[in-house]
Structure 1
Amino acid sequence: MAYENILPHVSRPSRYLGGEVGSIIKNPEQVELSIALAFPDVYEVGMSHLGYAILYHILNQHSWLAAERVYAPWPDMEEQLRQAGEPLRSLETERPLSRFDIIGFTLQYELSYTNLVTMLDLASVPRRRDQRSADHPLIVVGGPCAFNPEPLADFFDCAVIGDGEEALPELCRAVRASKEAGEDRARLLQRLARIEGVYVPSLYTVSYRKDGCVASIIASPGTPERVRRRFLADLNASSFPVRPVVPTMNTVHDRVAVEIARGCTRGCRFCQAGYIYRPVRERDPARIVEIIEKSLAFAGQEEVSLLSLSSGDYGCIEPLLKNLMTRFADSQVAVSLPSLRVGSLTPELMEEIRRVRKTGFTLAPEAGSERLRQVINKGIDAEDLVEATATAFSLGWRLVKLYFMLGLPTETDEDLEQIIDLAVRVKRSGRGSQGGADVNVSVSTFVPKPHTPFQWEAQIGLAETRRRQNLLRDKLRAKKLRMKWHTAEMSFLEGVFARGDRRLGAVIARAVDLGCRFDGWDDQFDFARWQQAFADCGIEPAWYLRERTEDEVLPWDHIDCGVSRSFFLQERRRALGLETTPDCRGGVCTACGVCDFQQVYPRLHDAAALEEGSAGATAPTAPAGEENRCKLRLRVAKTGKGRFVGHLEFMGLFNRAVRRAGLPVRYSQGFHPHPRISYSEALPHGMESEAEIIDLDLGRPVAAREAAAGINARLPAGFQVHEAALLDWRNPSPSASIDCTVYRLECASSDDGQLSERISSFLTADTVPATRMKKGRAVEVDLRPGVRSVRLEAGTLYLEMTHGSPLPVAAHLLECDEDRIRGLVPRKIGVVLKGTGDDI
C-alpha cells in the first residue's frame, strides 16, 4: 500500500486511500493512454464536484483509456511526502503522476491556483510548460476559471474551454494519435489547437502597452484568433454515471447529485455561470428518475440533489419532485433543490420538499434594494421573498439563509441598509411559527468576472470592503441577526486572478515558494505571503481591480464564450439605466449570440406527467410496530486500508452499505430521521480490528447469514462482516454490552525480560502517571484505570481493557511514543460480553 508508513502521521488519512466502491481500476499495461484527473483541493471537496465525476465516468467508458483521480494533499501530507521523497500518486493504481500521459486539472476557483502548482511540484513535473518535453505529461486545464486562464498560462499546455463531455475524449484521441505518430510536443500542441474548444497558450503572443494594459493578443499562423467555447448540444443524450464512486470518508456533499439542467437564461448581470453555460439544456424527467433510482440503489445515500443553476426553473420541476417523493419517501430519501429562485418557489413545491426531511432553505436576493436588483437584473420582488419565507416557516423550517453581495456597481450605503431591513422582514415573517424562526445572512464581495456585462467594472478595495462589512455586521447584530462574510483579502485576490493576465504567473510561483497553499481556506490563508510575492515580482495587485475602458483589450478577449461583446456592452448600459432584460425562456430571444438554432439552442421540457412508480429499492423503512422488531448483531473486521478510516467515516460508509443491502432498518422520529444503527466505541486512529460490534435495529427478522453476505458485497476493501446473529431488540447496545476489550501488539524486537518487568510493575502499581498530547496540549493522565490485564507471549503483547485507549499504555510499556505504536499495527482481536464471559 502506497504511503503506508506516512498515513499514521497525517490528519484524515482516508483522503489518500482509494479503493472506494464504484472506483474503476484498469491495468496500466492494457491501456493505450492514461489521464490523471486532478482536483486542486482536498478529497472531500473534489468528490463533491459533479463535473469531475461525469468526466471520470465518460473517459473510463473507453477501453483504451484509463482515467484515475488525484486530489491536493493537505499541508501535513505534503510535508510527509517531501520528507519521505515520495511522489504524489493516483488513488486507483497508486502510480506517480509523472507516469501519466495527461494530467487534467479542473479550475473551479481562483484561490486554488497555488495548489495546482504544488501538485506539479510533488509530481516532479516541471512547473513551466516551456521546461517540459514529450517525456512529461501533457498538462490540461478546464472548468469555469479556464474562461480566463491567463494567470496560469505559464503552467499548462492547453485548456478545454466549455463543456468537456465530448471535447476531452476528443483531446485524448488526438494525444493517442500523436503518440502513435511519434510527434514531439510542438507538433502535438499544433494538433490539439485544431480541436474546437481547445486553447494552446504557447500559440498566442501577448504584448503590453506602456501603461500596463494588454496591447494585443496575436495568434500564430493557422491558429484561430479566438477559441470558441465547446458546446454539448443535447444534455439528455450525454452519458451520466449511475454507478458513482461512493466516498470512503464523509464529503462536503454526501448525496446523489443529478444535473437536471445546464445553463440559465435569467440574465443576472453579475453571474459568470449564467453566461458561460448558455443555452439552457434540460434533461428528460423520465431519464432523471431512472438515473436517481439506479444511483441510489448503487450508492446508498440518503439524499438526492437536483442540480442546475436554477433548479426551480426546470420545466417539469413540480411533477418531477412529486414523483421522486412518492418513490422514495418510504426509504427516507430526502430531495434537495440547492439553487432556488424566489420566483420559482410555490407552496406546493415546498410541501413536497418537506415530506421526508427539511433540507436546507436558502435564498439569494443578492441585493437589498429594488433599485440595485434592477441594476443586476435579478428580477425578484421583496414581497415575494417575504411571502416565500413565511410559507417556509409555517411548514416547519426553523432557519432561512439569505445570500447577498456587497460592492455591486452603483451600490450605496442606503442599499446596504436595505439588506438589513429585508433580513428583519424575513425574520418577522416567521413569528408565531412552531419551533421559532431564525435567519442567517451571508455576504460576499462582488467580483467583476470575465464574460459578464460587469467585466469592465471596478472592484472595491480592501478598506472599503471592510467598511461595508462592518456596517452590515454591526447593524445586523443590533437586530439579533447573524452574519457570515468572505474574508476581504480573499475576495481581493479572487478579483486579481479572475481579471488577471500572464504576468501574474510569476506571482503564483513565488507565492508557492513562500508557502501559500489552500488559499480558499481561512485557517491556511496568509495574505502577508501574497503581499510579499507581489512585491518580489514588482506587481501592484490593486491595479487589476480598476475599471476597464470599453475599448481596452481584455486579457481574455481571445476566449469566445459564445455571448457577443456587443451584447455584454448593451447589458452594461441597460444596467446603468435600470432596464430589465427578459428571460428568453418565455420565447423572446435577447440576441446574446449563443444559439445557432440548428445544433445549439434551448432544449426545454414542459410540465409532463410521470409514472407514479413504487417506493424505491433502497432500504425501505421498517414497519412501525414492535411485534416483529429484532436486533441484528454483527462482528465486523476493519483491517488493511480500513484501519486509516476514522470512526465517523466508518459509520457513514457502513450505513450506506446497509441501505444498499436493502435491510429493513428502523429509523428515528423527528426533524431528521436517522437509521437505528449502534456502534461500539471508536477505535484509536490507525488500529486494526477483528471485533467491531454493530447492532441494527430491524423492523422484521432477516436471515443473518444472507444479511451479512449482502453487506459484505457492498463494503469497500478493508471491511468485512465475519459473524451475524439475531437478538431480542431489547438487548443493550454494543457499548453497554461489552465488559472488556482485548488488544494485540507484535513487539518482537523488544527485550522480553525488561518488558516483562515493566508489565509487572505496571500491574502492581496503584497509579501510572503519564503525559499525553490532546489537541496540541500536554495533559496529565493516569494509565492504570481501565487496564484489567497485560501479558507477553512470544514477543506479542496482549492487553485486556475495560475502557480507554491501549495506545498510551503500550507506548508506556515499550518506552516509545504513540506514533511508533501505530506503526506496529496494533489490533483489537476480541471483546468479552457482560454477564456471559463469552468472547467475540
Structure 2
Amino acid sequence: MLNDDLLEIEKPARYMGGEMGGVRKERPDIRFALAFPDVYEVGMSHLGLQILYGILNGVPWLAAERAYAPWPDREEQLRTEKSPLATLESGTPLGATDIIGFTLQYELSYTNILNMLELADIPLLAAERDTSWPLVIAGGPCAGNPEPLADFFDAFLLGDGEEASLEIAEAVRRWKLDGSDNKAALLDALSKIEGVYVPSFFTVSYGKNGQVAAIDPLKQGYDRVKRRILSDLEAAPYPTAPVIPFLKTVHDRVSLEIARGCTRGCRFCQAGYLYRPVRERSPRRILELVEATLRNTGYDEISLLSLSTGDYGCIAPLLKELMATYAEQRIAVSFPSLRVGSLTQELVEEVKKVRKTGFTLAPEAGSERLRLVINKGITEDDLLQNAAEVYRAGWRLIKLYFMIGLPTETMDDVLGIAELAKKVKQQGKLSGHGGEVNVAVSSFVPKPHTPFQWEPQISYEEILTKQEFLRMELKRRKLNFKWQDAPLTVMEGVFARGDRRLGKVLLEARRLGCRFDGWGEHFSFPRWQEAFRNCGIDPRFYLRRRDPAEILPWDHLECGVAKGFLLRELANAMADDAAYTPDCRTGACTVCGVCDFDRVAMRLNPPGTSEAGTPEPQETPVPAETPPTRIRIRFSKTGPMRFLSHLEMLTLFTRAVGRSRVPIRYSQGFHPHPKFSFATALSVGVESWAEYLDMELAEPWSADKVKDALNSVLPAGVEILESAEIPLNSTSLSVIMDKVRYRVTLPGERDLDLPARVASFLAREHHPYHREKKGKSQDFDLRTELHDLRTTDGKLEMVVGRGKPLEFTAVITGLSPEELKGTRIEKLEVFFNNSPF
C-alpha cells in the first residue's frame, strides 16, 4: 500500500507500480525479481528487461516483477522507515522472492547492486546466503567479465537470455519442489544450463607480479563456460504489450529490435563481438510486431534497433512501408544507431515525413589512418556526404561521436576531430540551410573479448590533457563540446578488465557511501581513491597493457569469438599499414569462430524478402476532409494515481488515446502534439472526482464512444465519468472555471475544536496571505477567496476560488506544515460560470 511519504520525494511515479501493461500474479510457484541497478527512467528504457518480463510472465506458475535503484531521497526514506526494497508489482520485499536477476549494463552501476541488496536486507556475499535467501544472478554485456562481482553472485548468464532465463526458473522450481535444503545441488543444476557461469565452482590464484596465475575449476567437466546464443531471432518472443511507464523515460517510444549482432568488426566494440552472429528479423515479422506494439502502447514513435540499423538488408523498403502505414497517424521513425556510409538520401526523406528525429553519426576517430586501425571502415567523404544529405533535408543539428585514447593515437589524430567536425558544419552552410554540430567525445576503454583487450588505457592525466586540447580547438571553430569526465572513465576501465580482488574494493566503496557512480552529481572520485588505498590495491594495475601470453581474468569464459582471431585482428591493427578486415556479411567468412554453420549461423533475409515482406504501398483515395469534433470529459484521479504529476497525466492520456485509437487531432510544427486542454493542473497527492479535459478529434466520434474507448485502456484509479460533445469554439475550461469544492481529512487523532476554529475564521473580514513560488511573490486574501466552509464528521469541506486547500487548512486549524503531513485532500466538485457540458 502506497503512503503519502511519496509526496516528500522527487517523482513518486518511480515507485508506484500499477502501470498499463504491468502483470501481477497471486501466489506463483516462483517469484522472479528483475532488478535494474539504476533509476526507473533508465531501467524502463531497457529493452532486454521488457523482453524477459514478457517471456517469464507468459508462464502460469512464474511471476516476473521489477525493482529499480531508488533515488537517494527514496533510499533515505526506506532506511529511516526500515522498509526493505520491494518489487513494484506486488510490493514483495526482494528478500522474499525466489530469484533476483540483475542486469549488468555498465561497470559504474556495480555499487548500486550492492546498495540494492543492502536495502533489501540481503547478505551481500554469496557465501553468506543459505537456502533461505533468493538465488542472486546476473546477465548483460558486463557478464563478459563478471569477475569483480564474483563474490556477490550465485551465478551469471553469459549471452542471450530468452531461453536460458526460463530454464533457470525451471531449475529453481524443481529444486524447491524437491524440498532440498542443499544450495550446492541447485548451483550444480544451474551449471548444466548452457551459458550459466557459477563463480564458486572456480578458484583463482595470483602470482607475485599481481597477475592471474591460474583459474582452476572445482567441478569435473566444468572448466569453461560458453556464451548462450539465441539461434533464431525471427521466432523469438517479443513484448508487444510492454509495461508503459507513467513518466517520461530515457527512450519513450516503441523499441523494435530488427537485428541482433554486428560483423563490421570495429576492434574497440565489445558489443560487436559479444552479440555475433548477425540474426535479422524479416520485414513482415517486424511490421506485425510494430502494429501490435503500437496498438498496445499508444506511443507515437518507433525506434528500429540494432547495433547498426542501416546495415539491415531491407531497411529502405521496410522504412517506406512503415511511413506509408503510419505517417498519417503522426507516428515517427527513428534510428539510434546509423553507421556512417549506410545513410542514404532515400532514408533521410522517409524519416522526415512525420518529424525530424535526431541524427547522430559516429566517425569515432579524427583521421583516416586511425579509423583504419580500429577497422571502422568509413571515409571522410562518406561522413561529409551523409552530413550534406541530412542538412539538405532540413535538419539543423548533427551530433558527432568520437573517442580519444584509441591505440596508436597521436595529437594529430586528436586535432583531426576538430578539423573533421568543422568540415561537417561547413556542409550545413553549403546546403544553404546552415547547421550546427555537437561533438561528443568519450575516452577509449579496452573491453574484454575484443582485439584491443590487451591494449593499455590512457592515464587520467593524459585524458585531461587531450580534453583540454580539444576544448580549445573546438572553441576556436565555434563547435559545441561534450565529454565524459576522466575519473568515470578511469573507474570504468578498472572494473571492465578487473579480477575478483576488486570485490573488496566494491565493498569498501559502498561502505564509504558510493552509489549512482554513473551520475556525475553523485560520483565521488575521492571516496573511490580512499577505497583503493584502504584495500591496498593500485587501480592503475588494471589499466596497463596485457601480454598476449598472460592469463586474463575472463579466459575461462567464452564469448564465441576465438582468441586466435582476436590476436590476428590486433596484429592487423598494429601493422605499419593497418589492415582492414571486411564485413563477412558481404564478403568472405573471417573465421572468427562463433558460427557452427548449423544452429549458430548468420541469418539474413534471403534475396527477394524486401519485396515479399514489404509490398509496395497501394494508392488509396484521400478521405474527404471532415470538420473536427470537440469532446469534453470529466474524469477521476484516485488511489495511487494521485501521485502522478500534471505532465505525467498528460503522458498517460496521450498513451491512452493511442491505445484506444481515438482519432485525436494534432498540432502543426516540428513536433506535433495531440490537441488536449486540461482545466487546471492538479497538485500531486490530491485525489479528484472532478478533473476536466477537452480534446479535439479528427473524425466524428460520439462522446459515449470516446468514453468507453478510453475507459477500456486507462489504469485503475483514472476513469472517465462524463463525456459530451461541445461546440468547437466553446470557451476554454480555464476561463469558465470559478470555484472548487474540497474535502480535507486531517492526519491522525487531533484534539481540535474544528467547529469553533471554522466559526472563528468565518468571522474575519479579511486574511491577507503571501505566497512565494518559483521566485515570484503572490498576495491575495484567503477570506474573500473562501465561499463556503463547514465541518462534517471531523472533516473540513470548503469551496474556494484562488488558493490551495492546504493553505486554508493551515490558517483555519493553526497546524504547522509538519503537523499537516499526511492530510488527505479530495477535490469533489468544480463550479463554472457556464455549464461545462
TM-score w.r.t. the length of structure 2 is: 0.95
8 A contact 1:322–1:352 mirrored in 2? yes
Q: 2:477 aligns with which of 476, 479, 487?
A: 479
Alpha-carbon distance between aligned partners in 2 of 1:324 and 1:831, rounded to the nearest angstrom: 44
The equivalent of 1:131 in structure 2 is 128
Alpha-carbon distance between aligned partners in 1 of 2:348 and 2:482, rounded to the nearest angstrom: 26
Alpha-carbon distance between aligned partners in 2 of 1:44 and 1:527, rounded to the nearest angstrom: 25
Gaps of 5+ in 1: none
8 A contact 1:759–1:791 mirrored in 2? no
Q: CA deviation at 1:389?
A: 0.9
Alpha-carbon distance between aligned partners in 1 of 2:302 and 2:239, rounded to the nearest angstrom: 14
SS across alignment from 2:501: helix
Alpha-carbon distance between aligned partners in 2 of 1:78 and 1:366, rounded to the nearest angstrom: 38
Q: Deviation digits for residues 6-56 of structure 1, max 9, x if unmatched?
A: 21221111011111111111112xx22121111111111111111111111
The equivalent of 2:190 in structure 1 is 192
The equivalent of 2:458 in structure 1 is 460
8 A contact 1:830–1:839 mirrored in 2? no
The equivalent of 2:757 in structure 1 is 755
Counterpart AA for 2:286:
I
Q: Deviation digits for residues 762-801 of structure 1, max 9, x if unmatched?
A: x53352246x6x67x9x87546368343513223223434
Counterpart AA for 2:81:
A
Against the structure 1 CA distance between its residues 745 and 766, is the aligned structure 2 distance closer, same or farther, given a 3 Å change threshold? Answer: closer
8 A contact 2:754–2:791 mirrored in 1? no
SS across alignment from 1:365: strand
Q: CA deviation at 1:443?
A: 0.6
Alpha-carbon distance between aligned partners in 2 of 1:803 and 1:271, rounded to the nearest angstrom: 59
Q: CA deviation at 1:754?
A: 5.1
Against the structure 1 CA distance between its residues 479 and 58, is the aligned structure 2 distance closer, same or farther, given a 3 Å change threshold? Answer: same
Q: CA deviation at 1:723?
A: 0.8
The equivalent of 2:435 in structure 1 is 437
Q: CA deviation at 1:623?
A: 7.9
8 A contact 1:623–1:666 mirrored in 2? no
Given the alignment of the two structures, is residue 48 of structure 1 paired with residue 48 of structure 2, yes or no?
Answer: no
Q: CA deviation at 1:839?
A: 7.6
8 A contact 2:317–2:614 mirrored in 1? no
- RMSD of aligned Cα (Å): 2.1
Against the structure 1 CA distance between its residues 666 and 131, is the aligned structure 2 distance closer, same or farther, given a 3 Å change threshold? Answer: same
8 A contact 1:405–1:445 mirrored in 2? yes
The equivalent of 1:726 in structure 2 is 725
Alpha-carbon distance between aligned partners in 1 of 2:160 and 2:361, rounded to the nearest angstrom: 27
8 A contact 1:260–1:282 mirrored in 2? yes
Alpha-carbon distance between aligned partners in 1 of 2:19 and 2:639, rounded to the nearest angstrom: 14
Q: CA deviation at 1:815?
A: 3.4
The equivalent of 1:10 in structure 2 is 9
Matches within 5 A, 1:458-607: 458-577=456-575, 578-605=578-605, 606=607
Alpha-carbon distance between aligned partners in 1 of 2:427 and 2:466, rounded to the nearest angstrom: 26
Counterpart AA for 1:171:
I
Q: Deviation digits for residues 586-605 of structure 1, max 9, x if unmatched?
A: 14011111001011010001
Counterpart AA for 2:638:
T
SS across alignment from 2:681: coil
Alpha-carbon distance between aligned partners in 1 of 2:3 and 2:433, rounded to the nearest angstrom: 49
The equivalent of 1:814 in structure 2 is 813
8 A contact 1:783–1:808 mirrored in 2? no
The equivalent of 1:647 in structure 2 is 646
Against the structure 1 CA distance between its residues 279 and 789, is the aligned structure 2 distance closer, same or farther, given a 3 Å change threshold? Answer: same
Q: 1:338 aligns with which of 325, 329, 336?
A: 336
In percent, how many aligned pairs have the same letter?
51
Matches within 5 A, 1:301-312: 301-312=299-310
Alpha-carbon distance between aligned partners in 2 of 1:537 and 1:109, rounded to the nearest angstrom: 23
Matches within 5 A, 1:770-785: 782=779, 784=781
Moved more, 177-186 or 432-441: 432-441
8 A contact 2:392–2:433 mirrored in 1? no
Alpha-carbon distance between aligned partners in 1 of 2:525 and 2:742, rounded to the nearest angstrom: 47
Matches within 5 A, 1:67-82: 67-82=64-79
Alpha-carbon distance between aligned partners in 2 of 1:828 and 1:326, rounded to the nearest angstrom: 45
SS across alignment from 1:35: strand
SS across alignment from 1:326: helix
The equivalent of 1:104 in structure 2 is 101
SS across alignment from 1:342: coil
Given the alignment of the two structures, is residue 171 of structure 1 paired with residue 168 of structure 2, yes or no?
Answer: yes
8 A contact 1:623–1:699 mirrored in 2? no
Gaps of 5+ in 2: none
Alpha-carbon distance between aligned partners in 2 of 1:20 and 1:27, rounded to the nearest angstrom: 17
Q: Deviation digits for residues 133-167 of structure 1, max 9, x if unmatched?
A: 01100001000011110111111100000001111
The equivalent of 1:156 in structure 2 is 153
Alpha-carbon distance between aligned partners in 1 of 2:758 and 2:803, rounded to the nearest angstrom: 22
Matches within 5 A, 1:312-331: 312-331=310-329
The equivalent of 2:92 in structure 1 is 95
Counterpart AA for 2:160:
D
Alpha-carbon distance between aligned partners in 2 of 1:734 and 1:219, rounded to the nearest angstrom: 72
Q: CA deviation at 1:820?
A: 5.2
8 A contact 1:193–1:223 mirrored in 2? no
Against the structure 1 CA distance between its residues 105 and 727, is the aligned structure 2 distance closer, same or farther, given a 3 Å change threshold? Answer: same
Counterpart AA for 1:125:
I
Q: 2:356 aligns with which of 344, 355, 358?
A: 358
The equivalent of 2:445 in structure 1 is 447
Q: Deviation digits for residues 242-276 of structure 1, max 9, x if unmatched?
A: 11111122111111111100000000000000000
Against the structure 1 CA distance between its residues 523 and 800, is the aligned structure 2 distance closer, same or farther, given a 3 Å change threshold? Answer: farther
8 A contact 1:767–1:782 mirrored in 2? yes
Counterpart AA for 2:610:
A
SS across alignment from 1:312: helix
The total of aligned residue pairs comes to 825
Against the structure 1 CA distance between its residues 19 and 457, is the aligned structure 2 distance closer, same or farther, given a 3 Å change threshold? Answer: same
The equivalent of 2:298 in structure 1 is 300
Moved more, 725-734 or 453-462: 725-734
Alpha-carbon distance between aligned partners in 2 of 1:116 and 1:386, rounded to the nearest angstrom: 43
8 A contact 2:4–2:685 mirrored in 1? no
Q: Deviation digits for residues 558-611 of structure 1, max 9, x if unmatched?
A: 110011111111111111121100100014011111001011010001452135
Matches within 5 A, 1:110-259: 110-183=107-180, 184-259=182-257
SS across alignment from 1:689: strand
Q: CA deviation at 1:681?
A: 2.5
Q: Deviation digits for residues 196-222 of structure 1, max 9, x if unmatched?
A: 110001110000111111111101132
Against the structure 1 CA distance between its residues 335 and 624, is the aligned structure 2 distance closer, same or farther, given a 3 Å change threshold? Answer: farther
SS across alignment from 2:21: coil
The equivalent of 1:688 in structure 2 is 687
Moved more, 692-701 or 327-336: 692-701
Against the structure 1 CA distance between its residues 417 and 827, is the aligned structure 2 distance closer, same or farther, given a 3 Å change threshold? Answer: same
Against the structure 1 CA distance between its residues 819 and 374, is the aligned structure 2 distance closer, same or farther, given a 3 Å change threshold? Answer: farther
8 A contact 1:658–1:711 mirrored in 2? yes
8 A contact 1:208–1:215 mirrored in 2? yes
Matches within 5 A, 1:625-704: 625=625, 628-704=627-703
Alpha-carbon distance between aligned partners in 2 of 1:475 and 1:433, rounded to the nearest angstrom: 24
Alpha-carbon distance between aligned partners in 1 of 2:737 and 2:201, rounded to the nearest angstrom: 69
8 A contact 2:787–2:801 mirrored in 1? no
Q: Deviation digits for residues 608-665 of structure 1, max 9, x if unmatched?
A: 21354889xxxx9x9895x622211111111100011111111001111012222221
8 A contact 1:9–1:819 mirrored in 2? no
8 A contact 2:758–2:812 mirrored in 1? no
Given the alignment of the two structures, is residue 737 of structure 1 paired with residue 736 of structure 2, yes or no?
Answer: yes
Counterpart AA for 1:805:
K
SS across alignment from 2:33: strand
Q: CA deviation at 1:817?
A: 4.5
Alpha-carbon distance between aligned partners in 2 of 1:137 and 1:637, rounded to the nearest angstrom: 40
Alpha-carbon distance between aligned partners in 2 of 1:359 and 1:342, rounded to the nearest angstrom: 17
Alpha-carbon distance between aligned partners in 1 of 2:358 and 2:381, rounded to the nearest angstrom: 21
